[in-house]
Amino acid sequence: MSSSAPPVQLCYENVSGSCVKSPYSPAPRVMLYVVFGCGAVLAMFGNLLVMISILHFKQLHSPTNFLVASLACTDFLVGVTVMPFSMVRAVESCWYFGETFCTFHTCCDTAFCYSSLFHLCFISIDRFIAVTDPLVYPTKFTVSVSGFCISISWILPIVYSGAVFSTGANDDGLEELSSALNCVGGCQVVVNQSWVLIDFLSFFIPTLVMIILYSHIFVVARQQAKKIETTSSKPESSSESYKARVAKRERKAAKTLGITVVAFMISWLPYSIDSLIDAYMGFITPAYIYEICCWAAYYNSAMNPLIYALFYPWFRKAIKVIVSGQVFKEGSATMNLFVEHM
Residue 94: which CATH number? 1.20.1070.10
The pTM for the full model equals 0.85
Amino acid letter at 306?
L
d(CA 124, CA 209): 9
The amino acid present at 332, given as its one-letter code, is: S
3-state helix, strand, coil in the chain (%, to 5): 75, 0, 25
State the chain's maximal CA–CA distance in angstroms. 94
- Asked, for residue 12, whether it belongs to a domain, the answer is no
Q: Is residue 151 part of a domain?
A: yes
Whether residue 20 is contained in a domain is answered as no
pLDDT digits (tens, 9 = 90+) for 276-290: 888 788 777 887 888
Q: CB–CB of 47/37 below 8 Å?
A: no
Q: 138 to each of 89, 113, 130, 146, 189, how far by Cα in Å?
A: 47, 29, 8, 11, 45
| Cα separation values, 125 from 119, 255, 256, Å | 10, 14, 14
Model pLDDT, residue 43: 94
Q: Is 17 contained in some domain?
A: no
Confidence at residue 1, expressed as pLDDT on a 0 to 100 scale: 47
Q: What is the pLDDT, as a whole number, of residue 247?
A: 58
pLDDT for res 70: 96
What is the four-CA torsion angle of 240, 244, 247, 249, rounded to 10 degrees? -130
- The answer to whether position 1 is within a domain reads no
Q: What does the pLDDT read at residue 243?
A: 58
Amino acid identity for residue 24 in this structure: Y
Domain of 255, in residue numbers = 26-334
- Secondary structure letter of residue 18 according to DSSP: B
- Is residue 6, in this structure, part of any structural domain at all? no
Structural domain total, the chain: 1
- Residue pLDDT tens, the chain, 342 long: 445 556 778 888 888 888 888 878 889 999 999 999 999 999 999 999 999 999 999 999 999 999 999 999 999 999 999 999 999 999 988 899 988 898 899 899 989 988 998 998 998 899 888 888 888 888 888 999 999 999 999 999 999 998 888 777 766 766 666 666 678 888 877 777 788 888 888 888 888 888 888 888 888 877 776 776 666 555 555 555 555 665 566 666 667 777 888 888 888 888 888 888 887 887 778 878 888 888 999 998 999 888 888 888 888 899 999 999 988 888 888 888 876 544
Round to whole Å and give the CA distance between 288 and 28: 13
Contact (CB, 8 A) for 162 and 112: no
Q: What is the DSSP string of 173-194?
A: T-HHHHHHH--BT-------HH
pLDDT score recorded for residue 244 = 60
On whether residue 107 sits in a domain, the answer given is yes
**Structural domain contains residue 265:** yes
